Amino acid sequence: MAALLSVEGLTKRFSGLAALDQVSFEIREGEIVGLIGPNGAGKTTLFSIIAGSQPPTSGKILFEGRDFTRVKPFRAVHAGIARTHQIPQPFLSMTVRENVEVGLRFGRDPGGARNLVKEVTEILELVGIASLENMAAVTLSVGDLKRLELARTLATRPRLLLCDEVCAGLTECEMQSILGLLRRIQALGTTIIYVEHNLRAILSTCHHVIVLNFGKKLAEGPPETMQNDPAVIEAYIGKKA
């Protein structure tokens, strides 16, 4: 099966400092892939480049076999690539329903015949915040803001969903609920790359794991293998004295 996303030799430098250095990997359709690594490893930078909000210094990105290396963010969304952010970025003065409707109007197939009311309701029910549809986004709790961030992203109808620490700051109960939601989203046909620091979350959710450290790909493989890899352990906790 051809890769949905191919990253080839991706490098990003900021004033000579390499945030990413010759990173390469492939994502198959239907997977949930974990992207892990210590703070500063380059995970969010990688997401920003794939989503089109930052250009790479060098390297190539292919999406469905097409060159997406320097695609504009709106074209990435229209093609089916969407991302969440570590800190949710809703339109705070809008209601929950209005935020999701924006994604429907400007996402993939924005001009298609749509029943917006029905689609918004279905998305809000999927992520578990239908009862909050008329609340202003500014009034939501951290957990509900995370769900709204997912809802807005899902409204663009992504083929590839880039999830950036959607469980950060949540309680254990909230985290397990969000992880269950990611599994349901994947089961509905969306491929997911999931950035997360919590290794338990990665082990319980992801089919495959890519590890970054200091901007380089350190390792990749099944999550059970990665948790016992000496190089991965050292990257997280350092060498033993």
Q: What is the mean pLDDT of residues 71-91?
A: 92
The domain boundary residue, chosen from 156, 190, 214: 156
pLDDT of residue 109: 67
What are the residue ranges of helices labelled H in the chain? 43-50, 73-79, 96-106, 116-127, 142-154, 172-187, 199-205, 223-226, 230-237
Determine the pLDDT at residue 58.
97
Residue, of 4 and 117, whose pLDDT is higher = 4
- Share above pLDDT 90 across residues of the chain, in percent, rounded to a whole number: 70
The count of domains in the chain is 2
Same domain, 196 and 241: yes
- Same domain? 66 vs 1: yes
User: Are 138 and 176 in the same domain?
Assistant: no
Same domain, 240 and 174: yes
pLDDT range class, residue 93, cuts 50, 70, 90: very high
Backbone phi and psi for residue 239, each to the nearest 5 degrees, phi listed first: -75, 150
Question: What is the per-residue pLDDT for 232?
Answer: 84
In the predicted structure, residue 5 carries a pLDDT above the cut 70: yes
Residue 156 half-sphere exposure, CB side, CA atoms within 13 Å?
Answer: 25
| Dist CA 67 CA 103 (whole Å) | 24
Q: What is the dihedral of CA 64, 66, 68, 72, to 10 degrees?
A: -100
Q: What are the backbone dihedrals phi and psi of residue 71, each rounded to the nearest 5 degrees, phi first?
A: -70, 145
73 and 93 in a single domain? The answer is: no
Q: CB count, 10 Å around CB of 18?
A: 15
Domain match, 40 and 29 both: yes
Q: How confident is the model at residue 16 (pLDDT cuts 50, 70, 90)?
A: confident
Please, are residues 212 and 15 in contact by the beta-carbon 8 Å criterion?
A: no
140 and 171 in a single domain? The answer is no
Domain that holds residue 169: 1-80+158-241
Contacts 24+ apart (CB under 8 A), 140-149: 140/96, 142/169, 142/170, 143/170, 143/171, 143/174, 145/88, 145/90, 146/88, 146/170, 146/174, 146/178, 147/178, 147/181, 148/88, 148/90, 148/96, 148/99, 148/100, 149/84, 149/85, 149/88, 149/89, 149/90
Assess whether pLDDT exceeds 80 at residue 208: yes
Of the residues 110, 140, 156, the one at which a domain ends: 156
CATH number at residue 191: 3.40.50.300
pTM of this structure: 0.91
Same domain, 170 and 66: yes
**Percent of the chain scoring above 70 in pLDDT:** 95
Last residue of a domain, one of 118, 140, 156: 156
For the chain, the average pLDDT equals 90
Q: Report the alpha-carbon distance of residue 156 to residue 144 in Å, rounded.
A: 19
Residues 135 and 167 in one domain: no
Is it the case that residue 204 has pLDDT exceeding 80? yes
123 plus 174 within the same structural domain: no
pLDDT (tens digit, 9 = 90+) per residue, 121-175? 999 999 999 999 999 999 999 889 999 999 999 999 999 999 998 888 888 898 8
Exposed (0-12), middle (13-18) or buried (19+): which is 101, by Cβ within 10 Å? buried
